[in-house]
Structure 1
């Protein structure tokens, strides 16, 4: 009898612990989502912890339970954002047909990444924060950019056919184009020439 009660209590305790962990995880995820949205609307510097706590509907004490500082939160938002962009780029690369032309590969990479409008807004704000105010964040961006260079370089190299192009230089150019086109789309430039850009680069001998 006592054994059964003990097991029941153990199961109940285990269930409560799992529920608490899930609740904590959900609150933390809610904080990250809301903070990202506020930062995209107001900018990183102008978004306060009080703004975030009020928008989520929690106390500042609860906010500090999950994040020790605003920098801690910004770093996690940036890490999540950069990982998502890297994962998406990797997925698109994996789905490219092996026989696809060099021009087609360029077009896919340039257009799809540049069209990540929500991500692009957050990317620009976080990049500005990294450049102006946050050395740790800047180093994180640097590491991720190097990953992107390598990923783009490897992808383009496998579709070069007979072209004699310095693929490493080209990978830097493509990533720079992605940043530039993302900014142009954010300011409302229409008719960004994704296909034309890919065609022009592909025509280089």
Structure 2
């Protein structure tokens, strides 16, 4: 009975931790990262502050866990997409098309934008910096992996710096999607260009640049 009891306890702890993350995520997206307090999260979860501190030591720690969860979900979806296509170029094309066509995940995009704004200059603690960097480096970056595959199979040009171009593409895609999703309505009115067209041209320019 003891091993089963320990397993049930661990499941309960994991579920409670996930409940805290999800409640905090909803509060952050609704009110913004700088407006939410630990007291707000405690009240939303229906737990005590003492219980919260058993799982998280600070508000920053919760914010980082939400960011990691959002990025992990994106990586999981991406890993399903990269199998579409015979060459590295075709798989990159498929991945970019998915990003252009997707109308979902506006909340995730909004949270990432707030995270980038809040932590512009430095991370709050060495521990969180190490945790976040370890997550980012825990596996191959999708764009870098596809560029490497394309260079190897000849579908992507051989003269590029894969790391530099891969992260350039990543930053362009993230920044453009943030702008088109979060301010798309006003940008459409200001510039008289459909945000969907902007995203399509972005993908086309990237693909034209890297194609062998």
Q: CA 1:110 to 1:164, structure 2 compared with 1: closer, same or farther past 3 Å?
A: farther
Alignment of 1:6-25 (within 5 A): 11=1, 13-25=2-14
Q: Quote the residue 1:188 is aligned against.
A: 184
Q: Quote the residue 1:200 is aligned against.
A: 205
Q: Quote the residue 1:65 is aligned against.
A: 54
TM-score norm. by structure 2 comes to: 0.72
Q: CA 1:162 to 1:82, structure 2 compared with 1: closer, same or farther past 3 Å?
A: closer
Q: CA 1:195 to 1:145, structure 2 compared with 1: closer, same or farther past 3 Å?
A: farther
Q: Higher Cα Rg: structure 1 or 2?
A: 1
Q: How much has 1:101 moved relative to structure 2?
A: 3.6
Does residue 97 (structure 1) correspond to residue 102 (structure 2)? The answer is: no
Q: Quote the residue 2:191 is aligned against.
A: none
**Structure 2 Cα separation of the partners of residues 102 and 19 of structure 1:** 42
Q: CA 1:139 to 1:182, structure 2 compared with 1: closer, same or farther past 3 Å?
A: farther
Does residue 44 (structure 1) correspond to residue 49 (structure 2)? The answer is: no
**Pairwise CA RMSD of aligned residues?**
3.3
C-alpha offsets along residues 116-145 of structure 1, whole Å, 9 cap, x if unaligned? Answer: 323212212222232256344556656666
The range that moved more, 143-152 or 186-195, is 143-152
Instruction: Identify unmatched segments of 5+ residues in structure 2.
Output: 186-193
Q: CA 1:76 to 1:103, structure 2 compared with 1: closer, same or farther past 3 Å?
A: closer
TM-score norm. by structure 1 comes to: 0.74
Q: CA 1:34 to 1:112, structure 2 compared with 1: closer, same or farther past 3 Å?
A: farther
Q: In the alignment, is the contact (CA less than 8 A) between 2:84 and 2:94 conserved in 1?
A: yes
Q: In the alignment, is the contact (CA less than 8 A) between 2:23 and 2:44 conserved in 1?
A: yes
Q: CA 1:86 to 1:200, structure 2 compared with 1: closer, same or farther past 3 Å?
A: same
Instruction: Identify unmatched segments of 5+ residues in structure 1.
Output: 1-10
Q: CA 1:110 to 1:141, structure 2 compared with 1: closer, same or farther past 3 Å?
A: farther
Does residue 154 (structure 1) correspond to residue 145 (structure 2)? The answer is: yes
Q: How much has 1:188 moved relative to structure 2?
A: 3.1
Alignment of 1:97-136 (within 5 A): 97-99=85-87, 101=90, 104-105=93-94, 107-108=96-97, 110-111=99-100, 116-132=105-121, 134-136=123-125
**Structure 1 Cα separation of the partners of residues 139 and 102 of structure 2:** 11
The alignment of Structure 1 onto Structure 2 pairs a total of residues equal to 193
